[in-house]
Amino acid sequence: MIDRINDTIAAPATIPGTGAVTIVRVSGPDALYVADSVVSLRSGKIADSRGYSIHYGEVAGLDEVLVSVFRAPHSYTGEDSVEISCHASEYIAAELLRRLIEAGARAAEPGEFTRRAFLNGKMDLAAQAEAVADIISSSAEASHRVAYAQLKGGFSRELSALRDQLLEMASLLELELDFSEEDVEFASRERLKELLDETISHIDRLSGSFRTGNAIKNGVPVAIAGAANTGKSTLLNALLGEERAIVSDIAGTTRDTIEETLTIGGILFRFVDTAGIRHTDETVERMGIDRTFEAIGRAEIVLGVLDSSLGPDEILASARQLSEAAKKAGCRLIFVLNKADLGLNKNVIIENSIVSLVENEEDIISLSAKTGYGLDSLRNRLQSLIKARIGDPEATLVTNLRHYEALVDATSALRRARTSLASSLPSDLVAEDLRSALTSLSAITTGGPITSTDILHTIFSRFCIGK
């Protein structure tokens, strides 16, 4: 992206042809004058209008429009901006944009409006700029809530508080180095150890939330796994309410994974129907079974489907295999004791036997994928598991891989600093690790490293030198 921040830019802010109205946004130092060159108001000029005002106007020979005026710095980008609402014709939007460019604007590059908002201090990378795309792409209540919380700046406020404390300590250590000949200690080593322990714990909690946060953002992956012919595909169809997967009494019908999404209680789930696990010499089926275990490895939750019409030994052998696979993957396992419609009396005995494999009886749900019995219990269990992981609705969940990696890097640097302190190593080594941690945290919110100017600003703004 080319840095031409003094240009006036224009682009559709909505997709033309997908609704009744399209909005074309203009932003930059000449935005009001460019708009005046294209739009004639019923009275007055756009450049003379106050901010936060809407005016009726006309684009000669093209369309009647509404013009919303925003004056710097009180706009999305922090610049003078105009939003022109026209009818949602692709031709009208394209022609309006052409006239705006002819009047002195240039076509905006992808993401340039939000980039200008970031550069003009209207938002930072973690709190808003990256959350904007997540808000737009959210397809369920839970993912929207997480993105909106980030948009409001909760994550950034946490990081800023951590950053400020670390910056103060780094500044004190830098100050000691400047007065090294006088053998003075500005930074309390005990307080620094406490601060490092608190910060490491806080960052560990944030980075630990990434798996759940990322799953909520993109859809919680749920693998439907089990032996061949246990009713996995029937269960997927029953959950979706449509015939998505082929159902047959012939074992090995499913050769590859089938993925479908479903929203339950405001949470988006990605259900993956997998090939039945069994011994086979058939090459293609064997590849499908390998993909089953890969799907389990990527899942947050595994629905281990068991056929209650089989003998107890066979059921328990399958349950044990699923339990081992789920434990290896580090995901939650829910046993689904399928075919309850057959009216067998041994289900209670089997459930009691399976209890020894799992933490509690809640992780065993008896149902019939064929009749729908027990499906509501399964949906409620899935929903409650994820809501329990989310915990406090106000708590910050990390959803962005870039943020997660920066948090991991920051923690590594802080642990090195903690080790250096415990070993009574020189202050400059501790300070260097603190700088590294600060750079990682700053990369999340500002996109840039910590600088000497930041250190100096903290020193001179908080401490009196030479008095």
Q: How far is residue 55's CA from residue 152's CA, in Å, rounded to a whole number? A: 30
Numbered ranges of CATH 3.30.1360.120 in the chain = 9-122
Cα dihedral sign, 357-363-369-372: positive
Fold for the domain defined by 9-122: Gyrase A; domain 2 (3.30.1360)
pLDDT band at 250; cut points 50, 70, 90: very low
Q: How far is residue 456's CA from residue 281's CA, in Å, rounded to a whole number? A: 69
Identify the pLDDT of residue 347: 57
Alpha-helical (H) ranges within 358-400 are: 375-390
Q: Helix 154-178 to helix 141-151 angle, to the nearest 10 degrees?
A: 40
Instruction: Dump the DSSP string for 202-239.
Output: HHHHHHHTHHHHHHHHH-EEEEEEEBTTSSHHHHHHHH
**Per-residue model confidence as pLDDT tens digits over 151-169:** 666 777 888 888 888 887 7
Identify the pLDDT of residue 464: 37
Q: How far is residue 76's CA from residue 151's CA, in Å, rounded to a whole number? A: 13
Numbered ranges of CATH 3.40.50.300 in the chain = 221-390
Name the CA radius of gyration of the chain, rounded.
Answer: 30
Parallel, antiparallel, or unpaired: how do β-strands 106-107 and 63-70 relate?
Answer: unpaired
Exposure b/e, 429-463, CB count within 10 A at least 16 = b: bbbbbbbbbbbbbbbbbbeeebeeebbeebbeeee
Lowest mean pLDDT among 116-120, 201-205, 245-249, 300-304: 245-249
**How many Å separate Cα 214 from the centre of its chain?**
5
What's the pTM?
Answer: 0.64
Given a cut of 70, is residue 458 above it in pLDDT? Answer: no
Q: Helix 283-298 to helix 312-329 angle, to the nearest 10 degrees?
A: 60
Given a cut of 70, is residue 139 above it in pLDDT? Answer: no
**Per-residue model confidence as pLDDT tens digits over 94-104:** 999 999 999 99
Given a cut of 80, is residue 217 above it in pLDDT? Answer: yes
Plot region of 310 (φ>0 → left; ψ -120 to 50 → alpha; else → beta)? beta
Mean pLDDT across the chain: 81
- Nearest CA to 439 out of 418, 458, 414, 460 is that of 414
CATH of 141-209+399-462, one of 1.20.120.430, 3.40.630.30, 1.25.10.10, 3.40.50.10860: 1.20.120.430
**Per-residue model confidence as pLDDT tens digits over 393-450:** 667 788 888 889 989 999 999 999 999 888 888 878 888 898 899 888 887 876 555 5
111 or 4, greater pLDDT:
111
**Per-residue model confidence as pLDDT tens digits over 367-401:** 999 899 999 999 999 999 888 877 666 677 888 88
- Residue 283, Cβ density class (10 Å: 0-12 exposed, 13-18 middle, ≥19 buried): exposed
User: Six-digit token pair at 82?
Assistant: 């105009």
Plot region of 449 (φ>0 → left; ψ -120 to 50 → alpha; else → beta)? beta
Checking 54-63 for CB contacts under 8 A at 24+ apart, the result is: 59/84, 59/86, 59/96, 59/99, 62/86, 62/92, 62/95, 62/96, 62/99, 63/87, 63/89, 63/92, 63/96
Q: How far is residue 342's CA from residue 335's CA, in Å, rounded to a whole number? A: 18
Numbered ranges of CATH 1.20.120.430 in the chain = 141-209+399-462
| Mean pLDDT, residues 327-349 | 78
Identify the pLDDT of residue 391: 66
User: Six-digit token pair at 331?
Assistant: 């995901």
Architecture of the domain defined by 221-390: 3-Layer(aba) Sandwich (3.40)
